[in-house]
Amino acid sequence: MRVLILGGDGYLGWPTAMYLSSRGHDVTVMDNYFRRRVCLELDIPFLVDAPNLHERAALWRALGGSRIEVRIGDVTNYEELSDTFRVTEPEVVIHYAEQPSAPYSMMGQREAIFTLQNNLIGTANLVHAVHSLNPDCHIVKLGTMGEYGTPNIDIEEGWIDIDHNGRSDRFLFPRQAGSLYHTTKVQDTDLLWFYVRTWGLRVTDLMQGPVYGVFTEEMRFDDNLVTHFNYDEIFGTVLNRFIVQAVAGIPLTVYGTGEQIRGYLNLIDTLECLRLAVENPATRGELRVCNQFTETFSVNELARKVVDAAASIGINVSIENHINPRIEAEEHYYNPVRRKLLDLGLEPHPLTEEVLTGMLSFVRKHEECIRSEVILPRTKWQQTAAKG
């Protein structure tokens, strides 16, 4: 299939490009290097520097991979996006091109407005490009399990059937986002559902949990194919941060009580979920919602797993509780459903000690690159009002 990946330079975007390319798909990536620019601006480096997209694509081709076309552009610029659509004529577009960080969205007014504009205008532009230029194109949008929050009922897979006063109907499952970033993802879902109803688009919305991991099979060919690996408080996901902290000898930072429960998945499983969504498209006029995670853990459980895995290879690390910079329930019920991707054939990779020691060994190879000062939380959800 002809696949266009928006946000193709990202932690998920580049591995997805290689994964689908290696499986026979005709892949084009588009990116505006937002993440690289912000990491430079905030002085939060990647653990390992990565070549630019043109260099990565050339290396992938030289090592025997299929051709990956590269276009540098911004989804909030409709002319750039529509020109890419005309050139590539995609049968499916994977939408990763959003500001992906909850802490970044809560840093201040500038970051909040950027998050709103980038995420919502980008999604609206995508909808219009598909409708105007290729209405049968399948949109695969990366949502987040964080859209749901932590309700005191089971989290259904996107939809819920409600009986009320003797009548029944089916609605999108209620959302209660925990950050501005997550709020924009809720608005994305609403926007897509509106245009599915109005224009008969075909959309798959993948409600993804936090991703961990470094390796995919394609990356093992050359270190320069490794994806961006953030460990800072802005872009670093919790388990990736814990791995780096363990190697650096920094106590694992558990926010609050540490009993917050979320659904997690390995980077490898993310790629397989995307492949399954691409190769089994939603029908016209359908918003298909899939909960994309493989296991649930509390933050305390993750921390203890890292401590144990680190000890098995001679690394001793402790755990420290920090005042939670976020506004969230720290102890709560959490039971989300996850059937659709399993029904399509997903075979999950569990979080084993072997997976953790592999990540620890990778980070150990680059231990001299770790900047410990970027790890500890500085961004707070409840900002103190400035006095004038």
What does DSSP say about strands 202-208 and 138-144: parallel, antiparallel, or unpaired?
parallel
pTM of the predicted structure, to 2 decimals: 0.97
Residues involved in catalysis: 144, 181, 185
Do 214 and 359 meet the contact criterion of CB atoms below 8 Å apart? yes
In this prediction, residues 183-206 reach a mean pLDDT of 98
Confidence of residue 188 (pLDDT cuts 50, 70, 90): very high
Confidence of residue 220 (pLDDT cuts 50, 70, 90): confident
Cα dihedral value 246, 252, 253, 258, nearest 10: 140
Q: Largest Cα–Cα distance of the chain, in whole Å?
A: 65
Continuous segment of H or E residues that includes residue 309: helix 299-312
Question: Mapping DSSP to helix (H, G, I), strand (E, B) and coil, where does residue 190 land?
Answer: helix
Residue 19 tokens read as 């994964």
Residues 6+ apart with CB under 8 A from 143: 185, 188, 189, 205, 206, 207, 208, 289
In this prediction, residues 60-71 reach a mean pLDDT of 93
Instruction: Establish how many alpha carbons lie within 13 A of residue 5's alpha carbon, considering only the half-sphere containing its beta carbon.
Output: 29
Domain-embedded: residue 385: no
Mean pLDDT of the chain: 96
pLDDT tens by residue, 351-377: 999 999 999 999 999 999 999 999 999
pLDDT tens by residue, 122-180: 999 999 999 999 999 999 999 999 999 999 999 999 999 999 999 999 999 999 999 99
In this prediction, residues 77-95 reach a mean pLDDT of 98
Domain-embedded: residue 380: no
Please give the pLDDT value at position 221.
Answer: 82
Domain-embedded: residue 383: no
Q: How far apart are CA 58 and CA 60, in angstroms?
A: 5
pLDDT tens by residue, 257-314: 999 999 999 999 999 999 999 999 999 999 999 999 999 999 999 999 999 999 999 9
Percent of the chain with pLDDT over 90: 96
Domain-embedded: residue 301: yes
Confidence of residue 384 (pLDDT cuts 50, 70, 90): low
Residue 244 tokens read as 């780096």
pLDDT tens by residue, 27-39: 999 999 999 999 9
Alpha carbon of 168 to those of 71, 174, 175, 288: distances in Å? 47, 16, 20, 20
| Structural domains of the chain, count | 1
Flag whether pLDDT at 83 surpasses 90: yes
In this prediction, residues 95-123 reach a mean pLDDT of 98
Where in the sequence is the domain holding 155, given as residue range(s)? 2-374
Domain-embedded: residue 233: yes
Flag whether pLDDT at 238 surpasses 90: yes
Query: Phi first, then psi: what are they for 238, rounded to 5°?
Result: -60, -45
Domain-embedded: residue 381: no
Query: Hey, CA dihedral for 339, 341, 346, 352, is it positive or negative?
Result: negative
Domain-embedded: residue 382: no
Residue 142 tokens read as 């990366």
CATH code for the domain of 267: 3.40.50.720
Alpha carbon of 68 to those of 20, 48, 50, 54, 93: distances in Å? 10, 22, 17, 9, 14
Domain-embedded: residue 387: no
Continuous segment of H or E residues that includes residue 88: helix 78-88
Cα 66 from chain centre: 25
Instruction: Tell me the H-state helices in 150-261.
Output: 180-199, 238-248
Do 317 and 249 meet the contact criterion of CB atoms below 8 Å apart? yes
Please give the pLDDT value at position 387.
Answer: 45
Which stretches of the chain are assigned E, i.e. beta strand? 2-6, 26-31, 68-72, 92-95, 138-144, 159-164, 167-172, 202-208, 211-212, 252-255, 261-266, 286-292, 295-298, 319-322
